[in-house]
Amino acid sequence: MKIREERSSDQPAIRALVTDAFGQAQEANLVDALRTTGDLKVSLVAEEDGKLCGHVALSRLTSPARALALAPVSVLTQEQGRGVGSRLIRDAIEQARQLGYEIVFVLGDPEYYSRFGFSPETAVPFPCPYAGPYFMALWLTDERRAPDTVVYASAFGDLE
């Protein structure tokens, strides 16, 4: 399996696999909207035998500065449970670190995302409408920015 940055020619396959992974088009619409608005900062695909089997998106947050949101993580239904999502997440986090981002937020299962270093405790000082046990953060640097309100890109508003 190869992890690489998305190409413009991948967009129809990404849309299809995100729709398959979630059983609906809402998350695929989110990825398309983030790409259109320029808020999609890291977009990686997993490719095996010339076919895309996974995708991960990291999008710019309006606030705090130098922060990203991890969402969605998508793996074709028949490929789930093989570690595709984990590889995508690890590579996306590393790319975000290399690009100079400071922190990544995610809304999801703490048991799953804690294996990548995310924790609800890290997110607690950051006010957010999604605050709670499923709202987590991961610092990418040793320097810690003063907490600021977490404001997702406008495309996320369509998910609510």
Pairwise CA distance, residues 40 & 31, whole Å: 8
- Give the number of other CB atoms < 10 A from CB of residue 80: 14
Least confident segment among 48-52, 101-105, 130-134, 154-158: 154-158
pLDDT tens figures, 79-103: 999 999 999 999 999 999 999 999 9
pTM, two decimal places: 0.95
Give burial (CB, 10 Å; 0-12/13-18/19+) of 40.
buried
Mean pLDDT for all residues in the chain: 96
Give pLDDT, residue 16. 97
pLDDT at 105 over 70: yes
| Predicted confidence (pLDDT) at residue 159 exceeds the cutoff of 70 | no
- pLDDT of res. 157: 86
R_g of the chain, CA atoms, integer Å: 15
The architecture CATH gives domain 2-159: 3-Layer(aba) Sandwich (3.40)
For position 60, what pLDDT does the model report?
Answer: 97
Give how far Cα 137 sits from Cα of 12, 27, 33, 140, Å.
Answer: 30, 21, 23, 10
pLDDT at residue number 153: 95
Residue 85: its pLDDT value, please? Answer: 97
Question: At CB < 8 A and 24+ separation, what contacts does 113-119 make?
Answer: 115/86, 116/86, 116/89, 116/90, 117/93
- pLDDT score for 160: 54
pLDDT tens-digit series, residues 109-119: 999 999 999 99
Query: Could you tell me the residue ranges of all domains in the chain?
Result: 2-159
